[in-house]
Amino acid sequence: MPTALITGASRGVGAAIARQLAPTHDLLLGGRPSAELDALATELDGASTWPVELTDPDEVEAATEAISELDVLVHSAGVGGIAPVEDLSTEEWQRILAVNLIAAAEVTRLLLPALRTASGHVVFINSGAGRNARPGWGAYAASKFGLRAFADSLRGEEPDLRVTSVYPGRIDTDMQRELVAIEGDEYDPSKFLTPETVARAVVSAVTTPADAHPTEIVLRPTGRA
């Protein structure tokens, strides 16, 4: 079977993607070492954990060395944060950019030989914030706009790879609950996309026949089940 590496696989969208790709792919489940990651690997019999701190360049380089061929790379790891520009410290900028942009770029760079061997597919879980920057979302939106630019450049530079950016609206995840709490609103999961819906879009992109290149997928919640 083809091999897929999913970062941020321990929960949320990453875990949903892993569950939906499991029947058709050998899985490498990326994430910080955790009981959640181990439990998912046990649930998805045959999946392997890829326990890596994505912001540690040496650790990432060591972890990618053994991967010689890779059919699918899904970047689902990410962090959030809401604050007006005047309150954004250097440390907060560095935290968000390190995970959402720099780590994705570095993992992709190191895995390019493996992806080229398989004529592989790279999927970036971006955000609506990667297309429209709202007040208070400056650092997060900047990281996602940067991720969009990186994906577009990669697509142009690597014609034998398929590169897809997925732009979901707000998703019912633990991170979303934290953001809504910061905003001071009441949490209503019916207003958001489910992780499973986003995962289905990723699977659709990955399984698109080879004569087509699904470059962008935009999802917006409808409020209907």
Q: What is the pLDDT of residues 4-40, one digit of tens each?
A: 999 999 999 999 999 999 999 999 999 999 999 999 9
The pTM assigned to this predicted structure is 0.94
Residue 207 burial by Cβ neighbours in a 10 Å radius (0-12, 13-18, 19+): exposed
Every domain of the chain and the residues it spans? 3-218
Can you tell me the distance from the alpha carbon of 66 to that of 62, in angstroms, rounded to the nearest whole number?
8
Task: Kindly name the residue from 50, 140, 145, 192 that is annotated as catalytic.
Answer: 140
Are the beta carbons of 120 and 164 closer than 8 angstroms?
A: no
DSSP lists the bridge partners of residue 51 as 31
The average pLDDT across 202-206 equals 98
Return phi, psi of residue 72, to 5°: -140, 130
Pairwise pLDDT comparison (190 vs 217), residue with the higher score: 217
CATH 3.30.1370.100 holds for 3-218: no
pLDDT digits (tens, 9 = 90+) for 159-187: 999 999 999 988 777 777 777 676 667 77
Residues in Cβ contact with 194 at an 8 Å cutoff, skipping those fewer than 6 apart: 16, 171, 172
Q: Is 140 annotated in the active site? A: yes
